């Protein structure tokens, strides 16, 4: 039994908490892995109201369920509610994984940075973080996690380019001298020196305004990554492709951040023989 096909007395429960959560691809990924691995477990969505996250989390204390992934808008609140915090979650100032220990403690982690680097490894294997400076566009929670992961992976310098400079400066203040904050109109100077560009703004989302990024300033071979995956081919990725730059998409990051989450919930790494990207593309209608 598996992935919710049959519930037994020993079924391990995990899930994802977000608002909205109905669009989340995580249940499809985790339940496919559970099924393939033959694990007695199930992964379900939870959508508390805007003020209900804390109540929900306290309800899970003591291990009513094993753990949850946390998505927008609760990642910062998740970190605050934890009793123990991993280095990755502390550096990102946000948690995308909460584990509920039997003794009542809540442990927070963040696997988004891992997912980002793994997505580069899969889709741009020629690139490595230690090759030179990287530009991260955006200064929200996702950007901060990306900057921390890139520095940990050996990036010598990370330009943080943001519409609101103060938020980029706050990341530099938190993560140290390798971080260089810049306002968006100065992006070209950063892009010229970069081996990779990560769009960590929500600007690629259909509902947000467009992002005017001078990608033609990037050198040949500069890898362009967009965290947004709806649409999968964002305006930033389309522009990069037109310039002949290698690209990494947000869907690969989403899939890769899920792998260590699955291991934390269910005690083993997901089986490699499930084509979860194909499942995710189908769920996105692609
Ligand atoms: P957030 O905290 O709301 O930050 C949003 C960022 O986007 C801010 O830096 C904001 O600039 C900037 N921004 C928004 N619209 C803009 C525009 N029109 N022009 C320029 N900048 C704009 O969001 P977040 O949590 O960091 O998430 C960012 C994106 O990453 C979201 O789309 C999220 O879905 C995605 N994400 C994807 C994955 C994945 O696995 N693929 C994981 C995590 C996050 P200001 O500071 O000036 O407002």
CB atoms within 10 A of CB 156: 14
CB of 253 closer than 6 A to ligand 1? yes
Residue pair 214/243 in contact by the 8 Å Cβ criterion: no
Backbone angles phi, psi at 267, to 5 degrees: 85, 5
- CATH class of the 12-110 domain in this structure: alpha beta
Residue-wise pLDDT tens for the chain (286 aa)? 568 778 898 999 999 999 999 999 999 999 999 999 999 999 999 999 989 999 999 999 988 899 999 999 999 999 999 999 999 999 999 999 999 999 999 999 999 999 999 999 999 999 999 999 999 999 999 999 999 999 999 999 999 999 999 999 999 999 999 999 999 999 999 999 999 999 999 886 655 567 889 999 999 999 999 999 999 999 999 999 999 999 999 999 999 999 999 999 999 999 999 999 999 999 999 9
Q: How many of the other CB atoms lie within 10 Å of CB of 6? A: 10
Torsions phi, psi for 191 (to 5 deg):
-60, -35
Q: What atom of ligand 1 comes closest to residue 204's alpha carbon?
A: 32
Could you state, in order of their start, the residue ranges of all structural domains in the chain? 12-110, 113-251
Question: Which ligand 1 atom sits closest to the C-alpha of 202?
Answer: 32
- Cα 55 to Cα 17, 69, 101, 228: the distances in Å are 12, 16, 17, 30
CATH number of 113-251: 3.40.50.720
C-alpha of 162 from chain center: 19
C-alpha distance from residue 248 to each of 3, 57, 144 (Å): 29, 34, 19
The whole-model pTM stands at 0.96
The rounded Å distance from CA 137 to ligand 1 centre is 9
Please tell me if the domain spanning 12-110 has the same topology as the one spanning 113-251: yes
């Amino acid at each position: 039994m598996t992935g919710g096909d049959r519930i037994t007395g020993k079924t391990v429960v995990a899930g994802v908490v977000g608002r909205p959560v109905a669009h989340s691809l995580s249940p499809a990924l985790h339940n496919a892995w559970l099924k393939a691995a033959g694990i007695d477990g199930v992964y379900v969505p939870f959508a508390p109201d805007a003020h209900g996250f804390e109540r929900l989390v306290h309800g899970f204390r003591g291990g009513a369920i094993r753990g949850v992934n946390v998505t927008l808008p609760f990642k910062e609140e998740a970190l605050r509610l934890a009793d123990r915090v991993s280095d990755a979650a502390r550096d990102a100032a946000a948690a995308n994984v909460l584990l509920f220990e039997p003794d009542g403690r809540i442990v927070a982690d963040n696997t988004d940075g891992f997912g980002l680097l793994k997505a580069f490894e899969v889709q741009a294997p020629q690139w490595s973080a230690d090759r030179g400076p990287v530009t991260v566009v955006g200064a929200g929670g996702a950007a901060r996690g990306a900057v921390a992961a890139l520095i940990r992976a050996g990036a010598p310098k990370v330009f943080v380019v943001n519409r609101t400079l103060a938020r980029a400066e706050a990341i530099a203040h938190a993560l140290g001298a390798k971080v260089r904050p810049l306002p968006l109109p100065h992006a070209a100077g950063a892009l010229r020196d970069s081996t990779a560009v990560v769009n960590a703004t929500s600007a690629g989302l259909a509902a947000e305004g467009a992002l005017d990024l001078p990608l033609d300033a990037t050198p040949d071979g500069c890898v362009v990554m967009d965290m947004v995956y709806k649409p999968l081919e964002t305006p930033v990725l389309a522009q990069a492709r037109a310039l002949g730059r290698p690209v990494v998409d947000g869907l690969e990051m989403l899939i890769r951040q899920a792998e260590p989450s699955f291991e934390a919930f269910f005690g083993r790494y997901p089986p490699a023989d499930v084509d979860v990207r194909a499942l995710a593309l189908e769920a996105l209608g692609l």
